[in-house]
Structure 1
Amino acid sequence: MAHSDIQQQRHPALRMILLAIGWLSVALGVIGIFVPVLPTTPFLLLAAACFVRSSRRFYLWLVEHPRLGPWIRDYLEGQGIPLKGKVYALVLMWASITLSCFLVPLPWARGFMLTSAVLVSIYILRQKTLHNR
């Protein structure tokens, strides 16, 4: 059975839910490009997963998009994350976390932010580095 046949057999309500989650994920992923504490790649991967199950057209649009597509393709193909992207993500994330820790007086919130930043940093640093971008 072809992939498009599977999409057509999905219940229309499920397809609409997947499309809505997909577009919300695209929006959050794009925001994450500019807001370091919001992860870009996981949201774009979630969007791709939703679109591949609901709309071939939107899936192809996303993975072939000149700005968003490389985030998904490089990751899915196991090529890694560009060094520039790693440095950009880590520097901006730690700058925003540091500022947030000064602005938020709650110790548990600071602990959560710092723990999240450490875990995301470890994740980013453990990913293969893509050197040709």
Structure 2
Amino acid sequence: MRHRVYRLLAYLSLGLGAAGVVLPLLPTTPFVLFAAWCASRGSPEFAHWLDTHHRYGPMVRNWRDNRAVPTRAKWLACLMLSISWVTLYMGGAHIGLLVFLAVFFCSLAAFLVSRPPR
């Protein structure tokens, strides 16, 4: 049962990552990395496919081998986090949610920026 859940999460995450290639507000890198992590636990075949994929493979291998995030992905992720927070603020989101997300987004951005460049 656990393998099925990981496999399902891997496919869903890769689907979101693939959508992020064409949708400007949806990030690709975190979803692909999460898909690779889930696939390694639920589907060795899918994990191998991701490792050897022409578009996603370098990203996955770079993270796995060096814990590195491409500079462009860092900038885009930070920009999208900022846009998301401002959109929620302008939309009148609850102050508790805004504070929580500000702390979470800043922590996530700090983590990303601290990773070595590709």
Q: Structure 2: where are the runs of 5+ without partners?
A: none
Shift of 1:93: 1.7
- Partners of 2:32 and 2:60 within 8 A in 1: yes
Q: CA RMSD in A?
A: 2.4
Partner of 1:107: 95
Query: Is 2:65 the partner of 1:77?
Result: yes
Shift of 1:57: 1.9
| Number of corresponding residues | 116
TM-score by length of 2: 0.77
1:61-100 to structure 2, matched below 5 A, reads 61-78=49-66, 80-100=68-88
Q: Larger Cα Rg: Structure 1 or Structure 2?
A: 1
Q: Distance in 2 between matches of 1:16 and 1:28?
A: 18
Give the ranges of 4+ consecutive aligned residues of structure 1 lying more than 4 Å apart after TM superposition. 31-34
Counterpart of 1:4? none
Deviation at 1:105, TM superposition (A): 3.2
Q: Percent sequence identity over matched residues?
A: 22
2:66 aligned counterpart, secondary structure: coil
Deviation (angstroms), 1:31: 4.7
| TM-score for both structures, normalised by structure 1 | 0.70
User: What is the Cα deviation at residue 53 of structure 1?
Assistant: 3.5
Superposition deviation, residue 32 in structure 1: 5.5
